[in-house]
Structure 1
Amino acid sequence: MSSIRAVAVAVPRRGDDVLVFEYHDSTKDETFYRPLGGGIDFGETAEAAVRRELREELGVELLDVRLLGVLENLFHAFGRDGHEIVFIFDCRLSDQSVYERDAVGEIRDDAGTKVMWRSLNSFDAGSPLYPAGLVGLLSERRRLPLSRFSSRWSP
């Protein structure tokens, strides 16, 4: 049975760098990068999910969490088709020491999965950042004031 998965990811920034994990899909022989985060549980808001995921994966709390956008991600990875709706959140990390290290460590519940800061300009077809469209979304947000993209609606 196929289904659409709701996902929330955090994109804390360090200048032009974004915090990502590195993973390898052996079925496509592709190394790729993705922001930390994960699935949204039933009854959980996307913001609550991204806060929980970063707590579980890195042991950090998030500050100043703001929705940047939502991307629909249709993909083929690890030998199967996937479909996600991905909520992208700007934020700051409560643990300032994470900003001081280029290689942050490993995801707690996925030993061997490296977490690091990478320049937004370093992603390309040979080392993609997923979900597709994220580089464009983050580049656009870098040029425009964040207040324009507040997740709160006002008349």
Structure 2
Amino acid sequence: MASLEEQLSALGVEGVQPVGGMLSGAKAEDFENNPVLEQMWAMQAFKYAETHFTLIQSRDAKEFQLTRVDDELYEAVRERFKELKVDVIDVESIKSPAGKEVWRQFCNDFREKVHDFNFATLLRIDSSKEYDEANTVIVPRAQFLAIEVVRNRQGLNSMHSKKTTS
């Protein structure tokens, strides 16, 4: 029988996307450190970020919804994180042990409402800038969506007017 690494390698990037969905609900300790699996997750996270950025460049982000529960995400963020600045994320506050615990509970509350709620997702730290190594942090999908919904509603994701031509 082929190892997990061999199976993932055989699938390639496109083939592993469904695998990401299957793994999203799994516990991390159920899997050994596997560089191929980590690479596949990173590639899927990058592809998601690329799609997100293309979307916010295409039109005013105030005009669209990211999920069917955008209103609920928005209200929950505003209620639980009254002091949260979403224009430029304070990475230390969301990555500190206390911050992680509060956000973990928030994400778990959306477990049944947000598809792949805990899947690793790339978040831009500064909403006025593009995705790049210095402006990116990895967060759970529910946290990403919550922050991006607030950014959309506050007009902070209006990248369509800043779109650059390559």
TM-score bucket (shorter structure)? under 0.3
- Structure with greater helix percent: 2
TM-score (norm. length: structure 1): 0.25
Larger radius of gyration: 2
TM-score (norm 2): 0.24
